[in-house]
Chains A and B, each alone.
Chain A
Amino acid sequence: MGMLFCFLGAISFGLLGSALKAAERRKADAAGLVVSAYAWPALIMMVRTLLLKSGGHVPTKVYVIAVLFGICAAVASLAFQVSISIGKVTVGWLMMNLSAGVPVVVSVWMYHEKLTILKVVAFGLVLVSIFFLSWGQVIEKRAIASNPAEGE
């Protein structure tokens, strides 16, 4: 049963990436889409917080980092939405997921987390993958420049 939900999660997130591309094809404004995508959960989380009634004090530093990292996430969402109008959704989506390597590196540096062989191999593959994706993009740009019909 648990495994079924793993695959449902994969399908749901995959459809999310595909829906963002479908929105781009329907000429949805990138910034407007991000605003809409953040407004709904902001509202839901605000209601959830108000219903919590924990009464506990939340330190100011929690709000400061929340706003900072929230801005990071919104900028990433906007960059992704703009990128799929000029590049492939698959590559943009992969890059969104490859970014999971960044906090792992920061955790190793900040919290002195153990750098396992598995992580080292993963980081190596991330770098090689980015190299090939960039190479592919250069080839595609050249092909479009020589034959604009290919970019349509």
Chain B
Amino acid sequence: MWFLLMLVILLTNGMSAFGLKMIAGWGLPETVKYPYLTAWYAGGLAAIALPMLLKGMRVGKTELFWGGVTGALSIGGQIAMAVALSSGVPGHVVFPIAIGGSIFVVALAGRLMFGERMNPPTALGLALGFIAVVLLGAS
């Protein structure tokens, strides 16, 4: 199950941002990204919400609260990166710090807040993955 989930994450999350690249390739105006992102979020929302509705499931207060928290943090991160880029910090510096740094923060929280312990192969995989993400961001 875990391996399947990791494969799904790797392929689907990786491709999820590719549409913006395709739009850039089509030479459409910058303003197209707003209707694009509206449809992008709506498509994602419908894909999960429709099966939930058919099963008679509802979104509770806990989910609404944490959804709002994660949404605010996501927007905060995007704004911080946008400000850093507009301040003249090059993209090959901004992306590795923001993405690599987030992994470090999650690893720290995983250990201190959630008591996650790593065996040696997992720790090595994490360290190599961290370097890989930083290099991908820099490239």
Contact = CB atoms under 8 A, between A and B. Distances in A.
Given A2-B83, A11-B101, A70-B47, A128 B59 contact: no
A74 B50 CA distance: 12
Contacts of B114: 21, 25, 89
Interface string A119-147: 10111011011111111110110010000
The range of chain A's interface size is: 35 or more
B59 A136 contact: no
Interface of A: 1-3, 5-23, 25-29, 31-42, 45-46, 48-49, 52, 54, 56, 58-59, 61-63, 65-80, 82-83, 86-104, 106-107, 111, 116, 118-119, 121-123, 125-126, 128-137, 139-140, 143
Interface of B: 1-3, 5-6, 8-19, 21-23, 25-26, 28-29, 31-32, 34-45, 47-49, 51-52, 57-60, 62-64, 66-71, 73-78, 80-81, 83-85, 87-89, 93-94, 97-110, 113-114, 116, 118-126, 128-133, 135-139
